[in-house]
Structure 1
Amino acid sequence: MTQTLQIERANHLKDKPDVSTIKFGTVFTDYMFTNKYTPEYGWSEPSILPYQNLQLSPSCQALHYGQSVFEGLKAYKNGDDVLLFRPDENFSRMNKSLSRLSMPEINEENALNALYELIKLERDWVPGGPGQSLYIRPFVFADEPFLGVRPSETYQFNIILSPVASYYGAQLSPTSIYVEDDFVRAVRGGVGFAKASGNYAGSLLAQKKANELGYEQVLWLDGVEQKYVEEVGSMNIFFIRDGELITPKLNGSILPGITRKSIIQLAEYKGYTVKEEAIHIDTLAEDLESGRITEVFGAGTAVVVSPVGKLNIHGVDYIINDNQVGPAAQELYNDLTDIQYGRIEDPFGWVVKL
């Protein structure tokens, strides 16, 4: 059922920042979307309000029992148009996360319409510089003031917006990754496939460890045997092996990334052979040593494509492609970002123009 969206205008609008100088996720636009859930009325009172702090009880259930999920997507500037990339996929995935955490699912059509109205209102915030975009953060959390281990009865669904610069600047730059041997991110049957806030909290200690060892990212192994490659903390992982594009198959503990899905579809469209399979970490090391693997790169909303120049496995550093950006990573990055920014034709119908 379509609901009437209320809009409260701000008395004063903020000055627009120089996006090239700001840190990711630190500046927010004038407005936000909010929607509340109660057992009596379901999701009701959808509103666009001036960006503001939330009022929460100290006993708010999300703070104590972790019922909280989120999404991340972007809006892009193309002349006078604003483009969104596969927003329906984000709200579809959000509902899968909500279902797993025993939270009420949102109406995806209403959520999309609310997002479109919010972006239209904030279209002047979508930056037009090279690689710049407007980051979109939808999130749902339990807000019932109750201390008890059961699903909350009330929830909030909000969307906030933040202008961001290009992750890399003018060109791609290879990153370094440490394969984590001690900690695990998720197990099958758990919430690894969901974009649950707690998944990220549980990854921070390993990330700190990797940083202290001189690496930028963590590559997680499976939580049962700790032998099979799963994903990097903020992105899915891909390999070029014998000229084919290889990525770990989804198994319930890997986030089904929308950029991952798009890379697979785009690569197949361009003629790559794409395989989703279980990748043993020792086999990966052997293939790096022998030269069968010539490229490694991650894929996610923030980075789009992130080439990997150095990978540490069991204490051994493997340098990939002389720590240079590989041709497949560059090609897929160029083509996908050209589609996102409307610079080339979108053969898949992924882009929504506002």
Structure 2
Amino acid sequence: MKLPLERLARHLEHQTLEPVWAVYGDEPLLVLEATDALRARARALGFVERLVFTLEPGFSWERLTQECDSPSLFAARRLIELRLPQGKPGTEGAAWLSERVKHPLPETILLITLGEIDWQTRKSAWFTALEQHAIVVEANTPSRERLPEWWRERLARQGQTASPELLRLLAERTEGNLLAARQELEKLALLFPEGPLPEDEVRTAVFDLARYDPEALRQALLEGEAVRALRLLRTLTAEGCAAPLLVWAIAAALRLIAGAQETLDRRAPLEAFFRQERVFRPEEKRAIERSARRFPPLRAALTACARLDRIAKGAEPGDFTVEAERLLLSLGTALSRGHAA
């Protein structure tokens, strides 16, 4: 059974815990907080003994089976943690998990921690078994739109409030870096008393700790946010991100949008195009379709991308940063004025 992360705390108030849990996601802080909450509740319910196993070179599923099947020497109730950092257990592990989640051990909680899960893993037999027989908690990074609300909720826990404008600033300065956001929250709790936060002082106290990667640049363009993409480009360039990676991010987004435009022009179904391009997330499909309808034809932009690629590889003279910014500026102008890019 899937359990939304925001309902986990309420669920843990129950007098019993289900025998098998799985926590996964792309945000380490949220995965850590969820598993910490589960451990604390298990201890409170008498699951005192804790065994931890991590899938790494030399790991033995047979030894794990022996440990699970052996009676506890120290306590009647045990918490067994199985950590799969790569999110994939392999053939032997998949069989082990499929069997164990269907036949849990008495007086034992099995807590499986995974990293980010791709779409292929979600469709695997062992993961399907998890969803059917375990409590599965997905702890992913909040969307950019959800980040101000994330900040509002965290500030409320420490008795502080902030204006909508200040919440947006805090979200912008820590986007993609929730570990840093938690540190800033702790700092705000130390610097300021409970109640409304003073905006000018907070602006000075909170550093710009946002962390981006080329995927964030690609996503911004897919969503038709050329101005934000320009800001991301400048940040990534200042951080020394390799030019070929930036070209990939820009070109990959524009090719998808251009392909969707061509599909719409032919009055063909977009779903077939998405399957061909291996686009599976519903929110990404919606973003591409919106951008395909908003952007003017992208032939000139794709030609500019090809030139950027040659500049990045040293095959053509030019200032890569200047040309990349010029391209994104032209896209932003085209969106605002409706002219060809």
- TM-score relative to the length of structure 1: 0.31
Could you say which structure has the larger radius of gyration?
2
Structure (1 or 2) with the greater strand fraction = 1
Q: Which has the higher contact order (CA 8 A, sep 6+)?
A: 1
Structure (1 or 2) with the greater helix fraction = 2
